[in-house]
Amino acid sequence: MKYKDVLEEARNREITREEAIYLFKETTTEERLLELLKTASYVRDKNMGREFKLWPFALSTNKGCSTNPPCRYCGQASSKIKMDISKDRIASPEEVAKAARIAEDLGFEGVQLGGGCSGHKGEEAVRDTEIVRSETNLQVFVNYGYDMSEENIKKLKKLGVKRIGCSLETVNEEIFRKIKPGDSLEERKRVANLIDSNGVGLGSGLMIGIGESYEDRVEHIFYLKGFDNLNYVYVSGFFPIPGTPMEDRPPASSIDIAKTLAITRFVHRNIDIGGSFGRDDQLQLWILAGTNIRHIHGMFQPKMNKKSFTPKFKGKITKISDRFVFINSLPIYAKMIKEAGLKPIPNAGNDEK
């Protein structure tokens, strides 16, 4: 097996598991990395075009994550974060509606509605979607984790939701139990299958830098091939949060994230692929790695104060209420996308798979 031969094959067909593992292990020089990224961009352009979609996070009435104990990498597991993030981000129906109207006025075609696993089996997802759909013509991507009943999946489908998220993070059961002791990989798989079997687009992702092997990543990437309605995959690079049990673990590197995105593109050629939020400075590298979509993190934030999280890229601020503001960073992201040679479009997802 030769490196250039594998990349040449990847230009025209889906790669095999063996080829994926080979690319992970053999992309060890600058020259090979550049060839990998060039090929991933080619595959993206050939199958998805040169448009890059942007969607913003919208406000939610979600009561926050009830996973107990919390995931070991999550801010809710931190001994140093005193602020109750979830309560600070609970919005009223009126605030959700106004935020959605602002997004539509700016030209967005859709928004992401999401929050932690509250234990209400998607009730907030249905309520928030009803609010947005009644006030706007926006498409909706729902991502409330695996906290979703089949009844509410069907309700969301009737409301016109084209994509529901259910991330697995890792398919290595030992690592999953170690970093997510209050969670269940089997339950996440079950809900992902419910979404898929009900004919709704499935969005799912993998987290890297948590102790997994290249073989684990490849197994995960190909596991997702088993879903008929998968239409979005994202790669999340681990980043340590102070005060958490994993605060001393090094973050996933920019290059490792890019390699994973590129190899994911070689397998999932005709769907949306993106990098997870929180690493905005890497957006242009992700574009080179074959991505075509991005959540704009920080579009809707609690009214800024010393304790609140604020976006890295600030934009024009519009007041939503006394508690919330809309931060329009779209022009900043659009500029970055244009610099990378793609056309930015404020689109929340495909109408079709």
- Beta-bridge mates of residue 327: 317
User: In order of start, what are the domains of the chain with their CATH numbers?
Assistant: 49-253+299-345 (3.20.20.70)
pLDDT at 332 (0 to 100): 87
Helix crossing, 17-26 with 3-10: angle to 10°? 130
Helix (H) or strand (E) holding 302: strand 300-302
59-92 pLDDT, tens digit each? 888 877 888 899 999 988 888 775 555 566 789 9
Looking at residue 169, the DSSP 8-state letter turns out to be B
Contact 206, 169 (CB under 8 A): yes
9-56 pLDDT, tens digit each? 999 999 999 999 999 999 999 999 999 999 999 999 999 999 999 988
User: What is the mean predicted confidence (pLDDT) over 132-140?
Assistant: 95
- How does residue 311 score in pLDDT terms, banded at 50, 70 and 90? very low
The rounded distance, in Å, linking the Cα atoms of 171 and 224 is: 10
pLDDT at 126 (0 to 100): 96
The rounded distance, in Å, linking the Cα atoms of 210 and 125 is: 29
Token duo for residue 329: 């960073």
pLDDT at 350 (0 to 100): 43
pTM over 0.75: yes
Output the average pLDDT for the chain: 89
The rounded distance, in Å, linking the Cα atoms of 77 and 241 is: 9
